[in-house]
C-alpha cells in the first residue's frame, strides 16, 4: 500500500462520488433544482418521481457506477487492491455522494452508490458476491411486498453486516458493512420518522399509488 497513492485515490473517489447526477439531470432536462421538488433528495427515487422513469433509471445506474469506478478502475490504476485500501476508497465514494462538495456538502442517501462500491468490491473479492446477492434479494423482497424504497433500503443495510458475520467475511468487510449500514440508516432518518407516522410515500411499479 502506497500512502500517497491511497490518499490521491481516496480524494478522487470522493470527487467521483460527489458528482450530483440527479441535480444535473434536473437542470438539463427540466431546468429545475431537484432539491426543491418531491422529497428534495438527490437520489434515484426522487428522480423517478420528479423526472420520470427513464431519467430516474439513468440516475440510478450512474449513481451505481459512481461507486464501481473508484474500487475497480481507479484502484487498479494505482495498484491498490488490498482490502484495507479498497474499503477506504469505497467509504470515500459513498461519502462523496452523501455530502457532495459541489452542492454545499448536501447530497443523497447513499444506497445506490453503496451498491456500486459493493458490486465493484465483489469483482475483486469473490467471497462478497453471495453476501451482496442476498442483501439485494432482501431489498427486492421488502420493496415488492411494501412499496417502500426507504424500508427496503434500511432493511438491506441492516442485514448487510449480519450477512458478513454469518458468512465469516474478513474483518475489513465487516467494518465496511457496519459503516455503510450506519451511513444509510443515518441518511434515512426523515424516512424512518415518516414510516413510523404512516406518512411515507410508496413507489408503485405494478399498482396504483396509495
Note the pLDDT of residue 67.
96
User: Is there a contact between 90 and 116 (Cβ–Cβ < 8 Å)?
Assistant: no
Note the pLDDT of residue 209.
41
Domain coordinates of the chain in residue numbers?
3-197
Note the pLDDT of residue 195.
94
User: Is there a contact between 163 and 119 (Cβ–Cβ < 8 Å)?
Assistant: no
Name residues of the chain where pLDDT drops below 50: 206-210
Note the pLDDT of residue 205.
57
Note the pLDDT of residue 210.
38
Note the pLDDT of residue 81.
87
Number of DSSP helices (H) and strands (E) in the chain, helices first: 11, 0
Residue 82, C-alpha cell as written in the block: 488490498
- Please list the alpha-helical segments (H only) found in the chain: 3-18, 21-30, 44-51, 53-69, 75-78, 83-98, 111-124, 128-146, 149-166, 171-187, 189-197
Cα–Cα distance, 15 to 39 (Å, whole number): 24
Amino acid at each position: 500500500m502506497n500512502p500517497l497513492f491511497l490518499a490521491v485515490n481516496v480524494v478522487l473517489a470522493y470527487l467521483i462520488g460527489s458528482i450530483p447526477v440527479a441535480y444535473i439531470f434536473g437542470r438539463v432536462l427540466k431546468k429545475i433544482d431537484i432539491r426543491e421538488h418531491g422529497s428534495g433528495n438527490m437520489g434515484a427515487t426522487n428522480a423517478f418521481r420528479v423526472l420520470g422513469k427513464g431519467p430516474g433509471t439513468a440516475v440510478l445506474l450512474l449513481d451505481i457506477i459512481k461507486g464501481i469506478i473508484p474500487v475497480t478502475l481507479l484502484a487498479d490504476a494505482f495498484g491498490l487492491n488490498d482490502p484495507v485500501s479498497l474499503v477506504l476508497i469505497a467509504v470515500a465514494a459513498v461519502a462523496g455522494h452523501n455530502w457532495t462538495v459541489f452542492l454545499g456538502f448536501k447530497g443523497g442517501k447513499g444506497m445506490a452508490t453503496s451498491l456500486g462500491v459493493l458490486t465493484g468490491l465483489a469483482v475483486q473479492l469473490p467471497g462478497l458476491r453471495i453476501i451482496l446477492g442476498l442483501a439485494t434479494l432482501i431489498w427486492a423482497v421488502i420493496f415488492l411486498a411494501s412499496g417502500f424504497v426507504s424500508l427496503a433500503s434500511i432493511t438491506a443495510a441492516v442485514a448487510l453486516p449480519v450477512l458478513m458475520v454469518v458468512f465469516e467475511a474478513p474483518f475489513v468487510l465487516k467494518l465496511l458493512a457496519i459503516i455503510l449500514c450506519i451511513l444509510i440508516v443515518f441518511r434515512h432518518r426523515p424516512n424512518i420518522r415518516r414510516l413510523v407516522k404512516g406518512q411515507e410515500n410508496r413507489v408503485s411499479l405494478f399498482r396504483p399509488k396509495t
